[in-house]
Structure 1
Amino acid sequence: MSAVAYNLVSVSSLALYRRYRPESFAEVIGQEHVTGPLQQALRNNRVNHAYLFSGPRGCGKTTSARILARCLNCEQGPTPTPCGECESCKDLARNGPGSIDVIEIDAASHGGVDDARDLREKAFFGPARSRYKIYIIDEAHMVTPAGFNALLKVVEEPPEHLKFIFATTEPEKVIGTIRSRTHHYPFRLVPPGTLRDYLGEVCGQEAIPVEEGVLPLVVRSGAGSVRDSMSVMDQLLAGASDAGVTYAMATSLLGYTDSSLLDSVVEAFATGDGAAAFEVVDRIIEGGNDPRRFVADLLERLRDLVILAAVPDAADKGLIDAPADVIERMQAQAGVFGAAELSRAADLVNEGLTEMRGATSPRLQLELICARVMLPAAYGDERSVMARLDRIERGVNFSPGGGAQGAAHGAPAMPTMGYVPGPGAHAGAPLPGGAPIPPGGGAAAARAAVRGPGPGQGPVPGQAPDRSAAPGPRRLGRSPGSGSGSRPGARARRVRAPLRRPRPPHALAEHPGGGQEPPSLHLDPAQPERPCGGLRRHDPPTRLRQRRCP
C-alpha cells in the first residue's frame, strides 16, 4: 500500500470530532467569553503560571488547553495566533505526533500521591526544545486530596519554565488551595443555533446531503456538547445512503418520535377526541417506540406551543429550533388552544413523565396522561377551571362521544343534572299501608311517607291532630299492639324518648290542604357550654349521656 493511500485510510478512520478539532482560538465556537480574554492575555504578555478550565463535557476544555500550549510554545510567540509552520506548532497540530514538552496526564488513572510526587520531581527539569514545559492535567477532580497537597508547593511557586493547565467537569472537587492559585475560566454549553450552523458546515465539507429536519435532531441529541453532537453526526453520515441523511432515518436511528404522531395527539387534545388519542398510544406501542421517549417529545412539543402562543414570531427570534414546515403546523395548533389549556397540558405531561420513571406499566401511565389532559372537569384546581373556560370559549363539545367523532355523528349533550320534581309529581301515591300521600308534595308529603301508617289509619290531610291521643311521653321499643309479655329491645330499655313539647302557634306550618302541621319530636335547646360542667339539659337521663369537656 502506498503512503498516499495509507494517509487517506488513516484520515477517514478518524472520528469526526478528531478530524475537525480546532487548532486556534478563532476556530473554537461558542466560548468567546473564554477565548477572548486568553488571547488578550497573550497579546499583553500577562500569562499566568496555572489555569483551571471547567465546564460540561465536550465543550472544548482540553482542546483550548492544547491551543494555549501551542500559542505559548510557538516560535513567533507567545502569540494569540500560532503560525502553524514551526516545529512546535506542527507537533501540536490536529494530526501531529505531540510535543515532548507538553505532557497530558489523565488524573483518573494517575491521581494518587505517588503520581503527584513523580510529577513534582520531573517538573523542575527544563524543557527540551520549547519555551515552556506545560502540564495538562485532565479530569483534575479525580486527583486525591493527598495528591493535591503534594502538588501544592510546585503549583504555588513554580519555576519560570513551568505552566499548569487543569481541566475538570467538577471544579468544586478541586481543593481550594489549588483553585485559589489558578485563573479559573468556566466553559459553557454551545447555543443550538451556533451548533447547528457548525454542523451544517461540517456536512458541507463531507459532501453528504442532509435533510433540513436532521440537524435540529442532532443538536437536540448533543444537548449543547460539540463532541457529542459530532459523534451523533458521524454515526448518521456513516449510515447515509446515496440520497444522504433523511429525516426518517435520523428519527428512527436516534429514537425520536415521528412528528406525525405528535401532530395527531395534539390535535386529539385540542378537539377532545379520546378515540384518536388512544389510537396514537396504540400505534406507539405497536411500533416498538418507547413511551417515555414519546412523553418527553410531547412535552417538548407543548413547550414550543406555549412559546408560540405567547410569541408568534418565536421562530424568527431563535426561541424555537425546528424546520419551517413544522413551525407552520405548530402555529396552527397553538391558535386552537387557549393559553391556560396549553399550560395545564404541559404541567400534566411533565408530572406524568416524572411518574413514568421506574413505572412497571409505561403504557398505562401514558394512557392516564392522555385521560387527564382531556378531562379538565375532573379537577377543581384553578388551572383546570381556566382550561374549561378556554374550551367553552372555543365551543368544543365534550359530551359522551364528543370530539371530532361525536360532532360528526351528532352526539347529544349530557342532560342537565338540576331536575327537581314538581309539587304534583307524586300526588296521590299510596303508602305501603294503603294511606295516600297528601297531595301537593312538600314537607308534609315527605313526613307522611317517612312516618307511614299508624295502628289504625294515618293522619288525614288538612285535619289537626288529636292531642288527647298522646297523654304523655311514649317509650320506644313497645308497639301499641304488642303483648305485655313481650320483651322490649336492649336500646328501648336504656333510652327514653324525649318529651313531646308543644310548639308555639306561630311556628305551626299549614299543610297545602289547609290543616296544621302536627307537632314533631324536639329536644330541648342546648344551653351554652360551661368550662367544667358540660352541657345542661332539662332531661336528666339525656344530661348523663353528654360528653364532658376535659
Structure 2
Amino acid sequence: MAYQALYRVWRPQTFGEVVGQKIVTQTLKNSILTDQISHAYLFAGPRGTGKTSCAKIFAKAINCLTPVDGEPCNHCDICRAVNENRLTDVIEIDAASNNGVDEIRDIRDKVKYPPTEAKYKVYIIDEVHMLSTGAFNALLKTLEEPPAHVVFILATTEIQKVPATIISRTQRFNFRRITPADLTEQMVKILDQKQISYDEPALQVISRAADGGMRDALSILDQVLSFGQDHVSLENALEVTGDASDRQLAAYLSAVFQQDLDQALQQITQLFANGRATTRLIESIIELFRNLLLQQNSPELVASLNYRPLPESLKPFAAQLSTAQLYQMIGFANETLQQLRNSTHGDLFLEVLTVRLVNLLRETPASAVADEQAVAVDQTLVNQLQTEVQQLQEQVKQLKQTGIQSPATVAKPKKTSHQAAPKVNRQAIYQVLAAATKEDLSAVREVWPDLLDKLSPAKRAMMNVSEPVAASPAAIVVAFEYAFTLKTANEDQTLQTDLKQELNHFMNNDANIVLVEKDQWPALRQDYIQDLHKKKQQQLGEATPTTATEPEQPAVISQAEQLFGKTIIKVEKD
C-alpha cells in the first residue's frame, strides 16, 4: 500500500480520540445520547484542530447501527462505509472550489430526497466562509428549515466572514488551539507505537512550531522523521522548523542585554548561516521577552505554565531590565514581525531590530538607579510638606489653648527657613517684561507639556507646580506655586540646565529661564508698570513744558496692553 502521511493515518475515528476539544466532543456525544440532533451545526476554529474530523465522527455516530455511549462502533456497515468514503448519504463539499450559486441550488434541490442507506443525510461543507454572497442567500432557507432527515455541518477557519444570518441558524461550536502539552503527548503516543526513538526537546520544538494545530504537528513530525532516518532529534527538529535552540537564543539576547552590538550581530549571522527562519526567530525572541516579564513579576507562575523555558543565563537580566524597557522591546519585535510579511529581506530586518534593541538599552538607564533617585527626591518633597503641616497643627493647637485674640494682639509666627520669601532677580524679570509679548508666551505654553515630558520623573513632579507667566525671545519667567519647590529648583543646577536645553530645542532659540514665586509675581509685574510709568512721565516732562492738555494715549499704557492684553488693563484717571 502507498505511504500515507501521519495526519491521515492517525486521524481520529471516535470522539474519545480527538485531542484537546473535550467540551465540543462531550456536548456532541450528549446530544446523540439524548437524541437531540439539531438540523445544522457550525464548527469554527484554527486549522488542524479537528473540525472536519469531528464532523465525520458525528455523521457516523448519528447513523451508526450499534452506537456505544454516543460513540460510533466503527464496525457496522455504515461506519465502515463512512471511513472508506463510499457512503452516498454523507456528502463532503469543499466550499473553496464549489462556492457558486448553482452548486448550492443543486444541494437545495437534492435535500428533499431521503437517504438511501443511513438514517440521516449529512452535508459537510468545509471552508464555508468561501461561499459567495449569492450562495449564502441560496442556502439560507434550506438551512433554516431542512427536511427531518438532513443534517448540515459547516466548518470554517474564519468565522468573521460568515454572515450573521447563517450563524443564527446553526449550533455554533468553537474549536480551541491545542496546547503544546497535548500535542507532545499525542506525538509521544504515535512514536511509541511505531517504536521510533526521539528527543523530548525536539517534540517541544515541533509543538511550538505547530501553533496549536495537530495536523501541522504531525506534518512537521513526518518531515523530521524523513530527514533524520527514523529518529526525532533536536537538531533535525530545529532544521525543519527553522527555529533556534535555547542556547543560541540565550547567547544572542545576552549580547543584546550587555549592549555588545558586534557580538549580537555575529550571533545573527551564525543563525542565518545555519538556515534559521527569521519569522520563527523573532517569535521565539518575543516569547523569551514575555517570560522575562513574568519572571520579574511572578517567577512561580513561569514555572507552573507550560511556556518555553527561560534559559538560566537570562534570568539575572530580569532584575537588571525595567518593565518599560521590556515593553518597548516587545513592541520593536512585533513591529519587525509585521514588516516581514511584505518583505523578502528577513536578515536585514532582524539586524535592524538588533541595533534598535541595543540603542534602546544605551539611551535608557537601567531602571533601579533612576527609580531610586526619583523616589528619593519625591520623598524629600513629601517630608517638607509634612513639616509644614505639623507646624500649622501646632499653631492651631496653641490658638485653641489660649483662646482667639484680636488680630492686633495675636503674635505672628516666625517664618522658618523654608518659608522665607526667596530672593528675586528683579533686573532679569524687568528685562523679560521689557520685550515680552503675548505671542511668545502662547508659544511657550504650547510646548510646555512636551518639555516636561522630557524630564526625569522626579524633576517632572517638581515642575508640575509651575507655569510660564511671561516670555520674550530672549527669556521666559516661570512661576512656582510653592516657595520650597522654588528654592529646590533654584539649587538644582542640573534641572535648570535640562530646562534650558529642552526649551531651546522646542523653541529653536537660546532663551534663558528666570524662576519666581507665584505669589510674588503680581507685585513684581505691578512694580515694573509703575517704574515704567514714572520713567515715561520724566521723559515727557523733560521734553515738553507742562500744559493743560492731557495726551490721548500714554506710551506706558500701550506697552502694558501689548504685554497683558487690553482686556486686563484698566485705565483710571488720578
> Does the Cα contact within 8 Å between 1:105 and 1:137 map onto a contact in 2?
yes
**Correspondence for 1:308 among 277, 283, 295:** 295
Report the CA distance shift for 1:215/1:364 in structure 2 as closer, same or farther (over 3 A).
closer
**Correspondence for 1:255 among 239, 242, 246:** 242
Report the CA distance shift for 1:370/1:77 in structure 2 as closer, same or farther (over 3 A).
closer
1:85 and 2:75 aligned = yes
Q: Describe how 1:232-251 pairs up with structure 2 within 5 A.
A: 232-241=220-229, 244-251=231-238
> Does the Cα contact within 8 Å between 1:306 and 1:339 map onto a contact in 2?
no
2:59 alignment partner in structure 1 = 69
Distance 2:226 2:366 in 1: 52
Output the amino acid matched with 1:228.
D
Distance 2:232 2:559 in 1: 86
> Does the Cα contact within 8 Å between 1:527 and 1:536 map onto a contact in 2?
no
Output the amino acid matched with 2:44.
S
3-state SS in 2 of match to 1:98? coil
> Does the Cα contact within 8 Å between 1:305 and 1:342 map onto a contact in 2?
no
1:115 and 2:103 aligned = yes
1:98 alignment partner in structure 2 = 86
> Does the Cα contact within 8 Å between 1:341 and 1:390 map onto a contact in 2?
no
2:162 alignment partner in structure 1 = 174
Identity of aligned residues (%): 31
Distance 1:536 1:151 in 2: 93
> Does the Cα contact within 8 Å between 2:120 and 2:151 map onto a contact in 1?
yes
Distance 1:291 1:84 in 2: 45
1:35 and 2:25 aligned = yes
1:337 and 2:318 aligned = yes
2:113 alignment partner in structure 1 = 125
Output the amino acid matched with 2:322.
E
1:122 deviates by 1.0
> Does the Cα contact within 8 Å between 1:101 and 1:130 map onto a contact in 2?
yes
1:399 alignment partner in structure 2 = none
> Does the Cα contact within 8 Å between 2:261 and 2:354 map onto a contact in 1?
no
2:443 alignment partner in structure 1 = none
Output the amino acid matched with 2:151.
K
Distance 1:370 1:262 in 2: 15
1:14 deviates by 1.3
TM-score, normalised via structure 1 length: 0.63
> Does the Cα contact within 8 Å between 2:329 and 2:357 map onto a contact in 1?
no
Report the CA distance shift for 1:134/1:349 in structure 2 as closer, same or farther (over 3 A).
closer
Report the CA distance shift for 1:388/1:236 in structure 2 as closer, same or farther (over 3 A).
farther
Distance 2:75 2:274 in 1: 56
3-state SS in 1 of match to 2:197? coil
Report the CA distance shift for 1:344/1:263 in structure 2 as closer, same or farther (over 3 A).
same
1:89 deviates by 0.6
Report the CA distance shift for 1:316/1:363 in structure 2 as closer, same or farther (over 3 A).
closer
**Correspondence for 1:146 among 134, 145, 154:** 134
3-state SS in 1 of match to 2:154? strand
Output the amino acid matched with 1:344.
Q
Report the CA distance shift for 1:290/1:51 in structure 2 as closer, same or farther (over 3 A).
closer
> Does the Cα contact within 8 Å between 1:54 and 1:186 map onto a contact in 2?
yes
Report the CA distance shift for 1:528/1:117 in structure 2 as closer, same or farther (over 3 A).
farther
Distance 2:203 2:302 in 1: 16
Report the CA distance shift for 1:145/1:78 in structure 2 as closer, same or farther (over 3 A).
farther
3-state SS in 2 of match to 1:234? helix
RMSD: 3.4
Distance 2:52 2:528 in 1: 80
1:21 and 2:15 aligned = no
1:206 alignment partner in structure 2 = 194
Q: Describe how 1:510-549 pairs up with structure 2 within 5 A.
A: 538=536, 548=562
> Does the Cα contact within 8 Å between 2:181 and 2:306 map onto a contact in 1?
no
Structure 1: 5+ residue stretches without partners: 1-6, 393-524
Q: Describe how 1:414-493 pairs up with structure 2 within 5 A.
A: none
For residues 302-351 of structure 1, what are the alpha-carbon distances to aligned partners after superposition, in whole Å with 9 as ceiling and x for unaligned? 222333344434465234244xxxx5xx2453135317536623532432
2:211 alignment partner in structure 1 = 223
1:160 and 2:148 aligned = yes
1:374 alignment partner in structure 2 = 361
1:66 deviates by 0.4
3-state SS in 1 of match to 2:47? coil
Output the amino acid matched with 2:143.
V
Distance 2:222 2:371 in 1: 46
Report the CA distance shift for 1:120/1:232 in structure 2 as closer, same or farther (over 3 A).
same
Distance 1:288 1:67 in 2: 41
1:350 and 2:331 aligned = yes
2:464 alignment partner in structure 1 = none
1:265 alignment partner in structure 2 = 252
1:182 deviates by 1.5
Larger radius of gyration: 1
Name the stretch that deviates more: 44-53 or 197-206: 197-206
> Does the Cα contact within 8 Å between 2:265 and 2:351 map onto a contact in 1?
no
Residue correspondences, number: 390
Report the CA distance shift for 1:24/1:100 in structure 2 as closer, same or farther (over 3 A).
same
**Correspondence for 1:194 among 177, 182, 185:** 182
> Does the Cα contact within 8 Å between 1:348 and 1:372 map onto a contact in 2?
no
Output the amino acid matched with 2:73.
C
1:220 deviates by 1.1
3-state SS in 2 of match to 1:184? strand
Distance 2:66 2:528 in 1: 99
> Does the Cα contact within 8 Å between 1:338 and 1:391 map onto a contact in 2?
no
1:135 deviates by 0.9
Report the CA distance shift for 1:130/1:368 in structure 2 as closer, same or farther (over 3 A).
same
Output the amino acid matched with 1:89.
C
1:290 deviates by 5.1
Distance 1:58 1:232 in 2: 13
1:262 deviates by 1.7
Report the CA distance shift for 1:209/1:536 in structure 2 as closer, same or farther (over 3 A).
farther
2:551 alignment partner in structure 1 = none
Report the CA distance shift for 1:232/1:161 in structure 2 as closer, same or farther (over 3 A).
same
Output the amino acid matched with 2:335.
T
> Does the Cα contact within 8 Å between 1:265 and 1:277 map onto a contact in 2?
yes
Output the amino acid matched with 2:147.
P
Report the CA distance shift for 1:189/1:294 in structure 2 as closer, same or farther (over 3 A).
closer
Report the CA distance shift for 1:272/1:170 in structure 2 as closer, same or farther (over 3 A).
closer
1:264 deviates by 1.6
> Does the Cα contact within 8 Å between 1:340 and 1:390 map onto a contact in 2?
no
Output the amino acid matched with 1:62.
T
1:176 deviates by 3.0
Distance 2:132 2:328 in 1: 43
For residues 386-445 of structure 1, what are the alpha-carbon distances to aligned partners after superposition, in whole Å with 9 as ceiling and x for unaligned? 2555999xxxxxxxxxxxxxxxxxxxxxxxxxxxxxxxxxxxxxxxxxxxxxxxxxxxxx
Output the amino acid matched with 2:52.
T
Report the CA distance shift for 1:343/1:290 in structure 2 as closer, same or farther (over 3 A).
farther
Q: Kindly indicate which of the two structures has a greater share of residues assigned to helix.
A: 2
1:51 deviates by 1.1
Report the CA distance shift for 1:77/1:288 in structure 2 as closer, same or farther (over 3 A).
closer
3-state SS in 2 of match to 1:337? helix
Name the stretch that deviates more: 230-239 or 312-321: 312-321
> Does the Cα contact within 8 Å between 1:270 and 1:336 map onto a contact in 2?
yes
3-state SS in 1 of match to 2:27? helix
**Correspondence for 2:37 among 35, 44, 47:** 47
